[in-house]
């Protein structure tokens, strides 16, 4: 339930109620309509500014969400010696199956992962950059 003031309609309602009470008391009867119009305009301006800032915050959080989703995929793969399925990612994150599959597929297209198919038809992604400490030590110098 939204409280008055949390939306444009709520803001207008609060201003209207405030000025009606004052008008009834006779304090602002002469200027009631002018103040009511000013209150409505102020409420609309406040609501539009709030809506813009909410959209700006959402746009700023999208890259962070994507980055953290890729990190989740990498952590799951690291725990499984570089092998991961979309379902394993879903079980350990708040990502949907489609989002997990999309991230793994993008990693494959960029060359960071290769695709295998298990005996039961499940797609298994092998992330190429995850090495054990021994594999890192055994690597050749350039």
Query: Which pLDDT tens digit goes with each residue over 109-130?
Result: 999 999 999 999 999 999 887 7
**Choice between 60 and 114, residue whose per-residue pLDDT is larger:** 114
Residues 6+ apart with CB under 8 A from 125: 77, 83, 84, 85, 104, 107, 108, 113, 114, 115, 116
Do 90 and 69 meet the contact criterion of CB atoms below 8 Å apart? no
Which secondary structure element, helix H or strand E, spans residue 127, and what is its range? strand 123-127
Instruction: Give me the pLDDT at residue 52, please.
Output: 73
> 63-138 is classed in which CATH architecture?
Orthogonal Bundle (1.10)
Instruction: Give me the pLDDT at residue 109, please.
Output: 94
Instruction: Give me the pLDDT at residue 125, please.
Output: 94
Name which of 32-36, 38-42, 111-115 the model is least confident about.
Answer: 32-36
Comparing C-alpha atoms, which of 6, 117, 124 is closest to residue 76? 124
Average pLDDT of the segment spanning 86-101: 91
- Going from N- to C-terminal start, the domains of the chain cover 8-58, 63-138
């Amino acid at each position: 339930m939204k409280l008055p003031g949390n939306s444009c309609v709520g803001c207008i309602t609060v201003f209207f109620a405030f000025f009606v009470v004052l008008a009834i008391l006779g304090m602002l009867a002469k200027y009631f309509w002018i103040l009511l119009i000013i209150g409505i305009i102020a409420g609309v301006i406040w609501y539009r500014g709030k809506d813009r800032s909410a959209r700006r915050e959402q746009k700023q959080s999208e890259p962070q969400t994507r980055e953290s989703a890729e990190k989740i995929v990498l952590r799951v793969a690291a725990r499984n010696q570089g092998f991961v399925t979309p379902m394993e990612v879903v079980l350990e994150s708040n990502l949907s199956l489609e989002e997990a599959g999309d991230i793994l597929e993008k990693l494959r297209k960029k060359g960071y992962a290769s695709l295998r198919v298990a005996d039961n038809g499940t797609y298994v992604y092998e992330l190429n950059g995850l090495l054990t400490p021994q594999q890192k030590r055994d690597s050749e110098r350039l």
